[in-house]
Amino acid sequence: MADKTVCIVGLGIGKLYVAACKYYNWDVITVDQNKALNADYLNVDDIPKAVHIDLAVICTPNYTHERVARQLGSRYVTNIVVEKPGFQHAGAWLGFQQQYPKSRLWMVKNNQFRTLFADLQGKEIEKIQLFWLNKNRIPGAGSWFTDKYKSYSGVSRDLMPHLISVAQRALGQCIATDDFTAQCYQQYDMSQLQNDSTYGNYDANGIYDVDDCAYFKSKTNNVDIECFASWKLDIDVDIVEWRFFIKGGANLTYGVGLCPESAYETMLHEYMYADEATYQQHQKYDVEIHAIIDHFVESEQVPLFAKLSI
Ligand SMILES: NC(=O)c1ccc[n+]([C@@H]2O[C@H](COP(=O)([O-])OP(=O)(O)OC[C@H]3O[C@@H](n4cnc5c(N)ncnc54)[C@H](O)[C@@H]3O)[C@@H](O)[C@H]2O)c1
């Protein structure tokens, strides 16, 4: 018999977590309100109360994250893992922990668990430059992702949490947030878009009122950090490249593809078995990601991407 029970809520990206849990032979309960997906349950509240859940992953649209987390917190789930970008505000994240002290709350930071970080061990980083620039990968123009009411905002909440978490992991600490720039802008509107993105489901009748380009800059312990993210840009090929400038040369540059399943496996294992100190460190990262995202402001296009010199 498996020694742990995991619950996956939402079977879009959630399917990937089902596979990751199978790797550890954990028992998996699935929940999705879409009957066509044949999950074990349609709603978290349908799971019998006698079933203890050691870890649950919330993979539902952003506007439902907190509501589903409350359902899980009410039944004392030990670890509640929430897909990025977490909750709507940092305050909601902190408030949840006070209200549900029996549950540990984690944000998905799958990119922190890529193996490339082993190369940075013992190296003195001077500058971090992280690019996630897609030629055409809007996650469903007209879907919930591009409706501000449902996603809270666009690429600044979709891709920036990943990049910020990568900078945290490379630094081994939080990013200094006393002085930073966090800008975003909306480049496209629905009338300019068609069903040609390499990802997501297009809905011509849907809403597109979110930012699709974002820029973040900070300096932490004399390390310059710059992050660039876009769903759609006028470029020949995707530029998803992470650069770490090392003191004395030998800079490290990684062209990164989709996050491998092994990173999700490592993350779930860490969250499942983490000691209190590890949990507290992740909490700092998670609150910081929320706090930074809360501060993204709409700006003019030109000053933002004029900074691109790649
Ligand atoms: N970490 C990553 O790299 C990564 C990648 C993709 C998506 N995500 C995140 O995962 C989340 C889901 O994204 P997606 O692309 O899978 O979305 P999606 O719309 O494809 O799938 C969401 C699923 O949740 C179900 N659902 C909605 N509300 C529900 C509820 N209350 N109870 C049960 N099921 C419910 C829907 O029926 C649907 O099947 C988002 O927050 C997104 O930001 C993260």
The CATH H-level superfamily of 113-305 is: Dihydrodipicolinate Reductase; domain 2 (3.30.360.10)
Q: Name the range with the highest mean pLDDT among 56-65, 228-237, 254-263.
A: 56-65
4 CB under 6 A from ligand 1? no
Q: What is the pLDDT of residues 13-36, one digit of tens each?
A: 999 999 999 999 999 999 999 999
Q: Shortest CA distance to 102 belongs to which of 74, 139, 138, 68?
A: 74
Domain boundaries, the chain: 5-108, 113-305
Which ligand 1 atom sits nearest the alpha carbon of residue 65? 41
> Which residues, in sequence order, are CB contacts of 15 under 8 Å at separation 6+?
none
SS3 of 229, please? strand
pLDDT band at residue 178 using 50, 70 and 90 as cut-offs: confident
Backbone angles phi, psi at 281, to 5 degrees: -65, -45
Q: What is the pLDDT of residues 68-124, one digit of tens each?
A: 999 999 999 999 999 999 999 999 999 999 999 999 999 999 999 999 999 999 999
40 CB under 6 A from ligand 1? no
Q: Shortest CA distance to 141 belongs to which of 158, 126, 163?
A: 158
Nearest CA to ligand 1 atom 22: 60
5-108 fold: Rossmann fold (3.40.50)
Nearest CA to ligand 1 atom 10: 59
Q: Are 64 and 54 in contact (CB under 8 A)?
A: no
pLDDT at residue 310, as a whole number: 54
68 CB under 6 A from ligand 1? yes
Element containing residue 125 per DSSP (H, E): strand 125-133
